[in-house]
Amino acid sequence: MSPTPNRLRSLDPQLLLGIRRGIEKESLRVRPDGRLAATPHPAALGSALTHARITTDFSESQLELITGVHASVESCLEELTRIHQAVYRAIGDEVLWCASMPCGLPEEGAIPLGRYGSSNLGRAKTVYRTGLSHRYGRRMQTISGIHYNFSLPEEAWGELPWSGGANAGYFALMRNFQRHGWLAFYLFGASPAVCPSFVASRAHGLQPLAPGTLYLPHATTLRMGRLGYQSDAQSSLKVSYNSLESYADSLHEALVRPYPPYEAIGLREGDDYRQLSTSLLQIENEFYSKVRPKRVIRRGERPLHALRERGVEYVEVRLMDLDPFSPVGIDAPTMRLLDIFLLHCLLSDSPPDTPGEIAANARNQECVAARGRERRLQLVRGGQEMTLAQWGGQVLADCDPIAQALDDAAGQGGTRLYRDALAWGAAALKNPAAVPSARMLDAMAKRYANSYTDFVLAQSHAHRAALLCLPFPREIEAHFTQLAAKSIEEQRRIEAADTLPFEAFRRAYLAAETLDPAASPGRALSS
């Protein structure tokens, strides 16, 4: 499935310069000693309900930092850095946990859910999280990661006639990403070890490495393996990426049909809601896929409604671990290699997926998550066994013309930034010690007596110090102060405008007709 020469010729410089990317980065707030912070979302950061750049994910203690859309890797990282600087100036002596697997966690009930005020919208977001806690447990939801959003400009699809347009092109990309996503597990995975508090009272299959540390010796990303975002319920979803229609129909069914185990949880106890609905998915964002089609939604609109009505605007890559060696969780070479890989997925032939292939993809991914650095590890490609190194080497070799084209498009005096990023990936296939999961275990062994917590806490404090030492211009500080104030005012406006009882709001939002592109939108919950 290598890119065809005709498709490579479509990579004119203007098309490549039009690539856009953005980042959503989750991080736990922790106390200086590495325990989960129990403090509310800091008031200086504004409203988690309405802030454009700083919100919370599952927990009140779990920040989500969101960049805008950027034409360059550098500008995207610059904004992400600025957001971190603003956060650190608002959280006192607390620290952002720099790894994907969580810090020392309290018992389940003491992990605080995100709170978003008294509006119907804010209450619904908390009820959604209550549902997640009943369905999957609060500990699992404290896992953090990076979502990488990637798109081509609208006009690019006219220059790629073979793609069938944006919808077909993005779904072809996503099918190939599912086929080759295990390569990203290997190259970027950075969660080979965990704190035992994460798996307390749970069967886990991990090995003890040192007191307070569990691991798998060849793991790359426990976050994306059986211990992470997995569930029997979601495993029953056989979502096809063959078209927008097949994808939307699969999700529609999961959003409207009651699921008996979740019916057993119940919808509410008196005035207290246990979940938003008893369907397999409460809302669209509960679907834990490695990659998702996305579109910016209008106020009051369901994400699936937006996709059906106006099509795919970008893809969201969801399998990236936080890089504990980067102050902001990701670095420029990683982003460049992701751009290359995503273009490879787009430009390569992408036959329709089948239930058998979907299952084989999942097995390959699970294998690499748990054993990716094992020498001579065998994966299954088209029913035949092939080593990870062989298959990965072929994929990255096919990426070489793409890296060359991206460097040529940049046109900065013979730059090799993309080719250098690709060369690192090719070298890492031959040397597993170079990937983040191995580097992490090596650093733990050499300096922290194999302690996961001590390593991550030390890295987190170092990143905090480095970010606070960077210049933070007054105009940037004023900008974030203004964003916080604006978000608080917007939350007040939403709360003042509420007229419906919560149950009426919930029913109206979740009504099946709101998923139909012919329907008028209600109010969106987002995530």
The closest alpha carbon to 91, from 60, 121, 70, belongs to 60
Helix (H, G, I), strand (E, B) or coil at 293: strand
The CA radius of gyration of the chain, in Å to the nearest whole number, is 22
CA distance 369 to 413: 39
pLDDT at 527 over 70: no
Strand partners, 98: none
Helix (H) or strand (E) segment spanning residue 235:
helix 232-235
| Higher per-residue pLDDT: 408 or 422 | 422
Contacts of 417-425 with CB under 8 Å at 24 or more apart are: 417/332, 417/333, 417/336, 418/336, 418/339, 418/340, 420/333, 421/333, 421/334, 421/336, 421/337, 421/340, 422/337, 422/340, 422/396, 424/333, 424/337, 425/187, 425/337, 425/396
pLDDT computed for residue 263 by the predictor: 97
Average pLDDT on 177-191 reads 98
Helix (H, G, I), strand (E, B) or coil at 326: coil
CA distance 252 to 308: 11
Kindly list the domain boundaries of the chain, sorted by start residue: 5-507
Strand partners, 470: none
- Report pLDDT digits (tens) over 427-452: 999 999 999 999 999 999 999 999 99
Query: What's this model's pTM, rounded to 2 decimal places?
Result: 0.95
Asked which of 10-19, 272-281, 296-305, 455-464 is least confident by mean pLDDT, the reply is 10-19
Average pLDDT on 453-469 reads 98
pLDDT computed for residue 207 by the predictor: 97
Helix (H) or strand (E) segment spanning residue 76:
helix 73-88
- Report pLDDT digits (tens) over 373-403: 999 999 999 999 999 999 999 999 999 999 9
The closest alpha carbon to 84, from 141, 36, 142, 45, belongs to 45
328 touches 25 (CB < 8 A): yes
- pLDDT band of residue 525 (cuts 50, 70, 90) is low
Helix residue ranges per DSSP H, 331-371: 332-347, 355-371
Instruction: Record the tokens describing residue 117, joined without a space.
Output: 């005020």
Helix (H) or strand (E) segment spanning residue 469:
helix 452-469
Residue linked to tokens 């105009």: 475
Average pLDDT on 108-130 reads 97
- pLDDT band of residue 6 (cuts 50, 70, 90) is low
CATH topology of domain 5-507: Creatine Kinase; Chain A, domain 2 (3.30.590)
pLDDT computed for residue 17 by the predictor: 84
Would you tell me the crossing angle of helices 73-88 and 474-497 to the nearest 10 degrees?
Answer: 80
Average pLDDT on 331-343 reads 98
pLDDT computed for residue 182 by the predictor: 98
pLDDT computed for residue 155 by the predictor: 87
pLDDT at 310 over 60: yes
The closest alpha carbon to 268, from 134, 110, 121, 111, belongs to 134
113 touches 126 (CB < 8 A): yes
Report the share of the chain in percent with pLDDT over 70: 95
pLDDT computed for residue 62 by the predictor: 98
- Report pLDDT digits (tens) over 256-305: 999 999 999 999 999 899 999 999 999 999 998 999 999 999 877 899 99
Handedness of CA 115, 118, 119, 120 (dihedral sign): positive
pLDDT computed for residue 307 by the predictor: 96
pLDDT computed for residue 228 by the predictor: 80
Length of the chain: 527
- pLDDT band of residue 412 (cuts 50, 70, 90) is low
Instruction: Record the tokens describing residue 3, joined without a space.
Output: 């890119």
Average pLDDT on 490-519 reads 92
- Report pLDDT digits (tens) over 150-181: 999 988 898 888 889 999 999 999 999 999 99
pLDDT computed for residue 15 by the predictor: 79
pLDDT at 252 over 70: yes
Average pLDDT on 111-128 reads 97
CA distance 466 to 344: 35
48-86: burial string, b at 16+ Cβ within 10 Å, e else = bbbbebbbbbbbbbbbbbbbeebeebeebbebbbbbbbb
- Report pLDDT digits (tens) over 85-111: 999 999 999 999 999 999 999 999 999
pLDDT computed for residue 521 by the predictor: 52
pLDDT computed for residue 16 by the predictor: 83
Strand partners, 36: 30
Report residue 295 CA to chain centroid gap: 15
* Geometric angle at alpha carbon 206, from 202 and 211, rounded to 5°: 95
pLDDT computed for residue 239 by the predictor: 86
Instruction: Record the tokens describing residue 82, joined without a space.
Output: 């600025």
